[in-house]
Amino acid sequence: MSKFPRIDWRFTWIGLAMLASLIKYFLSLNPTFTEIVYSRGIFPVFRWVFDFSLGLSPIPLLYMAMTALVVWAVLRIRKGTKPEVRPFRNRLASVFLSITAAISIIIFFFFILWGYNYSRVPIEQQFELNSIQYDTARIKAEALLATQELIEARKQIPRAGTAALDQQFLSENLEASIRPSLQKILRGVGYPTPGRARCRQIYPRGWMMRLGATGIYIPHLGEGHIDGGLHPIAKPFTMAHEMSHAYGFGDEGTANFLAYLSTQSSNDPFIVYSGRFAYWRYAAGQLYTVDENAFQQLIDQLPAAVRLDWETVRKTHAQYPEFFPIIFDKIYDSFLKSQGVLDGKQSYTRVVSLVMAWRERKG
């Protein structure tokens, strides 16, 4: 009896990655189908399974994954040092095929576990937001309003004083403080919030920032992460941003928008301030691009305490400069565009137009 020829597992994974990519293409053509079937149907199941299994670990899964990767690499190297009878050309082809298969595994699970969310219905439709066309005057007005809100938020923090805000104002369990507010915002407009999305602080400090990221959501682990070296003022907003990714939102501007809304609905004045501080930086950055003099005037008019916060955050983050900023920016920009985020890294600043549209809708 003849047997079927044995199929190399590496070709299997390469084929699955190609299939997953093809499905991504077809889903991108029909956001409504993606929203109903994947984002609100299949993905919540993955979210729930992750959060009530591996997500219960007291240790960030990233640490365990990196440990397992190092062990695997050592074993592979030891195996590779043994005498090999195959010709060098065959061994080189096998290594290339193995690397391609490993990349294919990453691509396959990226899409299946989370990546199809990039093709879901834009959040503007769910929040019923109109497109904002703004000029220099409107950007200036928004930056001024964001500044006023920032100043007012700092006044609401007990014992804030005039010194720069620090770790003592940060909630001991930041995850538990951020998650309910984000879930409340999402449920308010009909989004499902299955499970209990995690976002961990990662150490040693600064290594993520040196790679060009203050935070990252890794679909294969089902967890968000923020750099432990972030200034305390930046941590709540960044954590809310990564948790927004964890609940199925890929676009960076959308994640920023949800992070802003969720921090503003918090009962913790410091978390509210963190959200307004992050948004103020985006609004002020937009002002800088159209009118540098107006931007400088905005900075000069900041109260001493707020300006000290701004300078302290900048100095803290400057301790961890990126290794290769141009390269990493290009790579991530290309990645976002490949997923349908046309603005690439500029999509982060979309939060300004989203908040402006939201304000307009609220009257």
The answer as to whether 1 is a domain residue is: no
Question: What span, in angstroms and rounded, lies between the C-alpha atoms of 31 and 24?
Answer: 11
The answer as to whether 303 is a domain residue is: yes
Assess whether 243 and 330 both reside in one domain.
yes
Assess whether 98 and 210 both reside in one domain.
no
Report which residue type is found at 108: F
The answer as to whether 342 is a domain residue is: yes
pLDDT per residue over 186-216, tens digit each? 999 999 999 999 999 999 999 999 999 999 9
pLDDT per residue over 237-258, tens digit each? 999 999 999 999 999 999 999 9
Pairing of strands 198-202, 215-218: unpaired
For residue 244, what pLDDT is reported?
98
Mean pLDDT over residues 311-317, rounded? 97
Assess whether 56 and 30 both reside in one domain.
yes
Tell which of 79, 104, 119 closes a domain.
119
Tell which of 119, 147, 180 closes a domain.
119
Assess whether 305 and 188 both reside in one domain.
yes
pLDDT per residue over 277-289, tens digit each? 999 999 999 999 9
Question: What Cα–Cα distance (Å) separates residue 231 from each residue in 44, 100, 235, 281?
Answer: 32, 39, 7, 14
For residue 133, what pLDDT is reported?
78
Assess whether 51 and 198 both reside in one domain.
no
Assess whether 74 and 105 both reside in one domain.
yes
Assess whether 54 and 170 both reside in one domain.
no
The answer as to whether 3 is a domain residue is: no
Closest CA to 80 of 104, 98, 103, 68: 98
Tell which of 64, 87, 119 closes a domain.
119
CA end-to-end span of the chain, whole Å? 77
For residue 196, what pLDDT is reported?
94
Assess whether 92 and 153 both reside in one domain.
no
The answer as to whether 353 is a domain residue is: yes
For residue 134, what pLDDT is reported?
79
The answer as to whether 146 is a domain residue is: yes
For residue 207, what pLDDT is reported?
94
pTM: 0.94
Assess whether 137 and 199 both reside in one domain.
yes
The answer as to whether 147 is a domain residue is: yes
Mean pLDDT over residues 45-50, rounded? 96
pLDDT per residue over 86-104, tens digit each? 676 777 788 889 899 999 9
Assess whether 62 and 185 both reside in one domain.
no
For residue 251, what pLDDT is reported?
95
How does residue 6 score in pLDDT terms, banded at 50, 70 and 90? low
Looking at the chain, the whole-number percentage of residues with pLDDT higher than 70 is 96
The answer as to whether 335 is a domain residue is: yes
For residue 3, what pLDDT is reported?
56
Assess whether 130 and 107 both reside in one domain.
no
Query: For the chain, what is the domain count?
Result: 2
For residue 223, what pLDDT is reported?
97
Assess whether 113 and 244 both reside in one domain.
no
Full residue range of the structural domain in which residue 220 is found:
123-362
Is there a contact between 210 and 321 (Cβ–Cβ < 8 Å)? yes
